[in-house]
Chains A and B, each alone.
Chain A
Amino acid sequence: MLQSLELAVELFRIYLIDESEEANIAAIDAITAAFSAVAGALFYVNAENQYRFSLAGSQFPIGLTEDRWRECINDHTKSDQIKQFDDWAIPGIEHPVRYWASSPLYASGSGNGYVFLGKDSGGWTDDEIAGFHSVTDVISEIVAIRYKRELESRTRREAEERLEAIALRMQTFFESSRDMIYTMDGDYRFTSVNSAGLRLLGVEDERLVLGHTFGELVENKDAHEFFAQKIARDGYVADLEVVLRRVDGVIRFCLETSHAIKNESGAIIEIQGHIKDITERIRNEREIWQMNLELADVNLRLTQTQNLMVQHEKLASIGQLAAGIAHEINNPLGFLKSNQAMLVSYFKTIQSVHEQVRALNIPEREAIARAADLEYLFDEADHIFAENDEGFARIVQIISNLMTFARMEKNGDFEDYDVNEGIERTLVVAANEIKYVADVIKELDGVPHVPAHGGEINQVILNILVNAAQAIAGQKRTERGRIAIKTFLEGGYVGILISDDGPGIPQEIMTRIFDPFFTTKDPGKGTGLGLNISYDIIVNKHKGRLTAESEPGKGATFRIELPITRPGV
């Protein structure tokens, strides 16, 4: 018993001073010596799950395959008590030993270890078996603790290795990412940034970034303001576009995805984010948008120009047609007028002859003259000739107006244009539109001639007059309307005011009346180009001014102003 106690103390000492596996050899040496055995071995499975045994008198623990190890154990041990058997040789020892006793280790009975002792003579006494039992109890506790510690150590080492591998992987991912990866503290100050982030920010040394906010690193200080609001509100941002204007003037379009880590009280302690530079993509998209806008603009201008040209052409054609017809009428009118003059002259001769015959006092003459009512006929003929003359004069005037109204300036140069004469001629052309709905009040001052394309200015006046007449007619009112035309000279411009007392122009469309295709007329009644062409003629071609005023319900006033000297000459 004392011997067992001494052995137990010795075993404690061995395992206390030596934490390595070699302590097992020292332990089995001590046990073998204490029981005067010739052979001793300690079989065990270590924390690395290796099948091993330590042989008394050897220098190093020995490894076995699991099969070989189990082969030794299965036939020569019991899981819960000491087993005695004879004539067996430990693997690697050639000479068999006569009397063996084996004992399982570990109080748990896990079967992870066994002590074998062999004697050549005398066999095992009951006392020895009891002592062996006590010793294995002691050693199994120690070995179990060591095994547990080894296992913990191994688990910790493995966890550390795993952590190291993860850290290495994360570090590689962080550093080799082509996108910016960063972390920030709760004050939005950078705590880490990878090299892609430094490149994106245009900075070489990370010390210039760490501890700073985004706003401190870029020119547009508020670049990250919306990000901060969203992070504070939602705890994350996903694919948020951020435009960074760097201090070197480079603009980068970025796509940011980040999330905040908060503490228990909800305060942000870290922000982890990822920023992708999408500048190239945006640049390409922008080129496409820009190209489409340019194409649409060119297309719009082409369409507008085409429509204007068609309308100009149409007006010019109508003018030319009118001028052509007027010219054609002018020729027969010439000989009609001439014939009329001849007829008047012939008639005067006849009248004179008649007077001479009457002086002869021929009795039959009185009867014939009375019967034919010659006095009355001569009086009526004078009236008819006078009316004819007036009619011819009016036709001549209309023809002259038509021919002048639509004349096309052959060389495109401005001519001397008499504004008052232009108004008079245009009123003749517009007479049919106006005469049934409105009276025209003229107040034409003696104004100087202006350099202009007369035909075009007449078109503008005609357009405004016809619009006024149609607006009045559209009211379907009982009393006649009033159109006032006034000319004046003011500040180097000859002005024409054309006012009507029609319905006026609603305020909300006032800014649009000169726009192309804007019309309030029913479909088919107006092209929406009349005032636009007028504007083009007065403002663009003649460098004049065309404005409109209106008080709804009280009519509209258009003001045309033409410079009295040729612009740019």
Chain B
Amino acid sequence: MIDERVAMRRTVEIEDIQILWSYAEPEFPAIVVVKGELDLKLAYRLRAALFELINLLSPGRDLYVDLRSVEYISSAGVGILSAALVHASERNIRFFISTLRPKVRSVFDTLGLLTWFTERDPIAAES
């Protein structure tokens, strides 16, 4: 039974974006890990990945965007995360971002959008 559930987990990697989610385990959150520079180019890839994932997840599930390895974020990156937060809210999906590096956090803060996000680090399910 447990093996079947684990088998329903999925991992996808697109450039500096890694997506982990499971069809079968409500307690196993969907996690999107972003690395490196979240510039304009990567931001648009992230947008596509997040929106697709949000549409895929059933309502009530948790979605974490792990930005702990992001060393630079552009305003477009913050904008796309805001748009994803809005979309997640419409789909009744809880949207979290991991704790942010000070420099990344200051961009969120300067844009006045930090308070909209809940910072919580994802705990990956044991495989």
Contacts and interface: CB of A to CB of B under 8 A. Distances in A.
B85 interface: yes
27 contacts: A226-B71, A239-B39, A239-B40, A241-B39, A241-B74, A241-B75, A243-B107, A243-B110, A245-B110, A282-B111, A286-B112, A289-B82, A289-B111, A289-B113, A292-B83, A292-B86, A293-B86, A296-B85, A296-B89, A515-B94, A517-B59, A517-B60, A517-B92, A518-B60, A519-B60, A520-B26, A528-B60
Contacts of A293: 82, 85-86, 113, 116
Contacts of A517: 59-60, 92
Given A289-B82, A293-B82, 9 more contacts: A241-B74, A243-B110, A290-B113, A293-B113, A296-B85, A300-B89, A515-B94, A518-B60, A519-B60
Nearest to A294: B116
Interface residues of A, number: 31
Contacts of B123: 508
A518 B27 CA distance: 11
Nearest to B85: A293
Interface residues of B, number: 29
A528 to B, nearest CB: 7
B113 to A, nearest CB: 6
B103 interface: yes
Interface of B: 26-27, 39-40, 59-60, 71-72, 74-75, 78-79, 82-83, 85-86, 89-90, 92, 94, 103, 106-107, 110-113, 116, 123
A296 B86 contact: yes
B103 A222 contact: yes
Given A282-B75, A282-B111, A509 B83 contact: no
Interface in A213-263: 220, 222, 226, 239-241, 243, 245, 251, 253
Interface string A283-325: 0011001101101110110000000000000000000000000
A245 B72 CA distance: 17
Contact of B75 (A222, A253, A300): A253
A509 B29 CA distance: 11
Interface string A502-542: 00001011000001011110000000100000000000000
B96 to A, nearest CB: 12
Interface of A: 220, 222, 226, 239-241, 243, 245, 251, 253, 282, 285-286, 289-290, 292-293, 295-297, 299-300, 506, 508-509, 515, 517-520, 528
Nearest to B25: A508
Contact of B79 (A245, A285, A295): A285
Contacts of A226: 71-72, 103
Nearest to B87: A296
B79 A289 contact: yes
A286 B86 contact: no
Contacts of A295: 86
Given A292-B82, A296-B85, A299-B90, A220 B106 contact: yes
B89 to A, nearest CB: 4
Given A241-B74, A292-B83, A508 B27 contact: yes
A282 B75 CA distance: 7
Contacts of A220: 106
Residue of A220, A240, A300, A508 with highest tally of chain B CB at under 10 A: A508
A286 B94 CA distance: 22
Given A520-B26, A528-B60, A297 B112 contact: no
Given A296-B85, A297-B89, A517-B92, A286 B71 contact: no
B71 to A, nearest CB: 7
A138 B86 CA distance: 92
Contacts of A300: 89
Residue from B40, B107, B111 whose CB has the most chain A CB atoms within 10 Å: B111
B75 to A, nearest CB: 5
A509 to B, nearest CB: 6
Which of B40, B110, B123 gathers most chain A CB within 10 Å?
A: B110
Contacts of B72: 226
B118 to A, nearest CB: 12
B110 to A, nearest CB: 6
A519 B27 CA distance: 11
B27 A506 contact: yes
